[in-house]
Amino acid sequence: MRLKLAEHYGLKFLMRKEANMYSPALGESAIKTLYRLKRALKKPMTEIVDEMIQSSLKAVDKEVICGVCVAEKNNQCKECCLK
């Protein structure tokens, strides 16, 4: 159902080169809302979602997240949106 709905609204699914990349599925209401935002703002849905995520990350406690990464010896801090 989600794939058909996504195709109806013109969403394109991209395969990423990273083998273990998690790509969450969006619910029907989110897809419909994104489509309305796309039409109203005249922007691609991917750009709208990216802006929403970047905006919401400002409210995240960076010390908690960074602490988990440091504990896991994650060395991707340069690529992190929380930097």
End-to-end CA distance of the chain: 37
Tokens read off for 76 = 């991707």
pLDDT number for residue 49: 92
Measured distance CA(38)–CA(46) in Å, rounded: 9
14-69 pLDDT, tens digit per residue, is 444 555 667 788 899 999 999 999 999 999 999 999 999 889 988 888 888 888 88
Closest CA to 7 of 31, 27, 24: 31
Question: Tokens 């010390």 belong to which residue?
Answer: 63
- Which phi and psi angles does 35 have, rounded to 5°? -65, -40
Can you tell me which residue has the tokens 């929403």?
Answer: 52
